Amino acid sequence: MKQRSANRSILVVGSVALDDIDGPFGPHKDVLGGSASFIARAASYWTTEVSVVAVVGDDFPQHYLDELDALGVDVAGVERRAGETFHWAGKYSDDLTTRETLDTRLGVFAQFTPRLDNKQRQADLVFLGNIDPILQLDVVEQTEAPLLVAADTMNFWIGGKRQELEKTLKRVSTLLINDEEARQLAEEHNLRKAAARILKMGPTSVVIKRGDAGALLFHGGGVFGVPALPLEDVRDPTGAGDSFAGGF
């Protein structure tokens, strides 16, 4: 049996991207985005052993990787390939409650095939960012008995690859999704009933994110709710759910 350190090691597999954001606080171009970026940044405040597996193009600014490295995040697993980095553009409403996707270009991310080295395979905690459920399962099968496997998904995978997603969920400890995704996955409007159905798919815990209404944790027949923390100055909610997951 391998020894576990008191400081749990976390492996994050997902996207590292460039975002164009428009909203009430003005446009911002080519800012750091992607699920793995936000998860790793948040998790770095709780442990010194966070590693990222992702892919970027040759247009990706090195200073973003340097910023993650300065936080103690191991970015050696971020592969740089010839081509364009995954790019997302979106516009938020004035109250930041809704957003419109203006452009999505997968770039080199379209051929992303995560490969873990020996240290990454032995991570204590594994977080599967919002990527193809086939890739999520492949990552799990490369690991060596992690203490916890957490995952995120979205409407696109629920609607387009439900069978593959359900297969992946059998290997997941905790699923973190928003209320809309939970209802779609469970085919049930009531969130408590939806969570119960999702738990039967494999996870031992389900966290349902509800934006400014807080979050709900469903586990072992019980439910635990927490409110959202009111903030005075919110300029860009992009990555809020991923950051929450990193802290979790």
**Residue 97, in any domain of the structure:** yes
In this predicted structure, what is the pLDDT of residue 235?
81
The number of folded domains in the chain is: 1
pLDDT band at 212 (very low <50, low <70, confident <90, very high): confident
Q: Residue 178: beta bridge partners? A: 209
Range of the domain at 187: 10-247
Note whether residue 173 is domain-resident.
yes
pLDDT in tens, 172-211: 999 999 999 999 999 999 999 999 999 999 999 999 999 8
**4 domain-assigned:** no
Q: Classify residue 3: in a domain, yes or no.
A: no
Per-residue model confidence as pLDDT tens digits over 25-52:
889 999 999 999 999 999 999 888 999 9
Residue matched to tokens 């997603």: 165
Three-state DSSP at 85 gives coil
The answer as to whether 56 is a domain residue is yes
In a domain, 1, yes or no: no
**In the predicted model, what is the mean pLDDT of residues 57-75?**
97
- Residue 112: inside a domain, yes or no? yes
Task: Look up the CATH number of the domain holding residue 95.
Answer: 3.40.1190.20
